Structure 1
């Protein structure tokens, strides 16, 4: 009998990255923020990647910023935005430019300007090139600032949403509320949907702050420097960061930040990510209410807050439960075989993980939501 030997290896990977809200970002100077575009110690070569809409509006300022920092760079790679561009083909295009420019594994981070899609495709390109190169993210949309710029996960769509992905956070992430001033109102609502999710699932103090000051902040595109508007942004980012760092690789599939992300993938071909998150969360609120996890008064507060923020309360995509059930089944496959749907629980900032949602229960929740939004 041949003697067998077995060795067990255990290794730990430490991750450190920063996320900053910095007014006046495009006017920054290396004397004040020397590390804004990555460490200046070993190389000033960088490959800039810019969303095409961002380039049209801020391209000259970005190029001036690169010049002030004496960055050695090729012409920025301008990529399309939107979910249709979140594909392996876009990542392949980025890889070709990385190869042409000669991006090394260390010391020359990609510089990525854009919303969530830009960060996903460029982050995935960074993760899969030379087994991982660094990048710095600059979020120019509200949803990018709240949900994407500091995320560990990056992904592209391949037959299904986010089917190919990796854990590869930026070394640093920045945003400036001034970017939000020129966003279309629909883009503001898209990001507000993520803030709404955070208030329900992660931060008990954010919920009443939104009830009192959210409608004004949304109407002003978060441009006011008052403490309440800044607190809404800071609390949203901080709550998401706490959630991510506590379970970075999702070894525990129970994750409160998955609130609004169980049936929403089925909606996103028709509506935006933020809108889908809101509708998903409203549906699960109705399920939680029927199961006794949410009181009628808190249920109504959740719906009222969504309404006051101008968020969608209903869409025709909810009239076809089949795709929603398919999305729920796929979410369960992603979560170790259980649905583990994060739903509101008793009060703001708390969730309960639901299992066993079937077609009948989902249908009843859809009826309940339709009735609730029709009453007002």
Structure 2
């Protein structure tokens, strides 16, 4: 800590006076270590598996308490198993069952979680909040944990594919505000994220595709081997094949998680705004909240990625052949490549909002060959229009119609 002083004025009788400029200055610098585990496990709700019990501090002998926040649909499917597990491990649980839909991703829901923490009388450091559900609920509960007494420990149990490979493994929390996605939020790491592929067995295929968008993202900007593996296996990826977690599916999921963590770890607080994991997330926030009927997060990301593939092809970062391979993989995953709301005008609005989020520059990640990434700051409105035309032409050719009419 440093201190700068000026000459004391004469004629003053008080014991201490703030000196004239430059006055007194203290500089405070501190670092807060961050450490949490992301574990891929099987049979998480089997009492023989101690992973979840360990995460809440239970040993099966002395009683502990926890607040468990469960997605309403997940509670219908796994509530009995969850309650049986915690009973077996002598854990006194306060239960809160909440909706986990995108429209409920609000500040009111965050406050509802904090009310449950207050009713329980949760201890600030030694009792945990456990969130069991998809990415929306993890964002809501994580934000509540970050705000309650300025930080309460929490554990994530993601039950959807997008939760297991994306939302559940980082440190960001957030809720939607107005017409903006994740406009209010915090950075707050869980103590642990426990990922059990068995939860995916009850996830509808549309939501499997939703998570595949985030896996394809990692393949396009970081992992060419993952891209090739997806090309070979995408036709067979389903809720059952992921839950069975054979060698190929295990590699798909683990490579996606490892790639995400490798990108996040050196930049958890986003001090560097050029983030390859923002691929597919430049234009999609504008689309996701405007589409009617609503799009899932990964579906909006897929349409965004298709435009970015076309932008890369236009700049010759991708060959036309590789651009078509990328678009074919997105479509084969059951994801959309276009949407009526996604006009050139909306692309410009989305990019303008991204510029504000990225501190005045586009910082737009594009594929520089499959498996690599480059950032650009000079994308024009004309380029965006041509990119849309590229995607529409591809879709039209695949459908056997004139893409210009789409």
Please confirm whether the aligned pair reaches a TM-score higher than 0.5, indicating the same fold: yes
| 2:70/2:131 contact within 8 Å kept | yes
Task: Give the ranges of 4+ consecutive aligned residues of structure 1 lying more than 6 Å apart after TM superposition.
Answer: none
Whole-Å separation in 1 of the counterparts to 2:63 and 2:176: 33
* Pair 1:140-2:140 in alignment: no
Alignment deviations for residues 339-369 of structure 1 (CA, whole Å, 9 cap, x no partner)? 11111112x2211112222322211111111
1:265 to 285, 301, 305: 285
What secondary structure does 2:177 align onto?
coil
Q: Which moved more, 1:36-45 or 1:13-22?
A: 36-45
Whole-Å separation in 1 of the counterparts to 2:125 and 2:319: 53
What secondary structure does 2:56 align onto?
coil
Aligned position for 2:184: 164
Aligned position for 1:304: 328
Whole-Å separation in 2 of the counterparts to 1:256 and 1:262: 11
Segments of 5+ residues of structure 1 without an aligned counterpart are none
Per the alignment, do residues 310 and 219 of structure 1 end up closer, same or farther by CA in structure 2, a change over 3 Å counting? Answer: farther
| 1:109/1:134 contact within 8 Å kept | yes
2:247 to 221, 227, 251: 227
Whole-Å separation in 1 of the counterparts to 2:324 and 2:52: 49
2:48 to 11, 22, 29: 29
Alignment deviations for residues 186-215 of structure 1 (CA, whole Å, 9 cap, x no partner)? 111100111111110122221111111222
Counterparts of residues 39-188 of structure 1 (less than 5 Å): 39-40=57-58, 44-74=64-94, 76-159=95-178, 160-188=180-208
Q: What TM-score do you get using the length of structure 1 for normalisation?
A: 0.95
Alignment deviations for residues 294-350 of structure 1 (CA, whole Å, 9 cap, x no partner)? 1212211111211222222222222x333332222111111111111111112x221
Per the alignment, do residues 315 and 221 of structure 1 end up closer, same or farther by CA in structure 2, a change over 3 Å counting? Answer: farther
Q: What TM-score do you get using the length of structure 2 for normalisation?
A: 0.88
CA RMSD of aligned residues (A): 1.7
Rg: which structure is higher?
2
Whole-Å separation in 2 of the counterparts to 1:16 and 1:374: 48
| 1:192/1:218 contact within 8 Å kept | no
Deviation of 1:34 after TM superposition, in Å, equals 7.0
Segments of 5+ residues of structure 2 without an aligned counterpart are 1-8, 10-18, 399-406
Per the alignment, do residues 183 and 14 of structure 1 end up closer, same or farther by CA in structure 2, a change over 3 Å counting? Answer: same
Whole-Å separation in 2 of the counterparts to 1:219 and 1:50: 21
Per the alignment, do residues 287 and 300 of structure 1 end up closer, same or farther by CA in structure 2, a change over 3 Å counting? Answer: same
| 1:180/1:221 contact within 8 Å kept | no
Bigger RCO (CA 8 Å, 6+ sep): 1
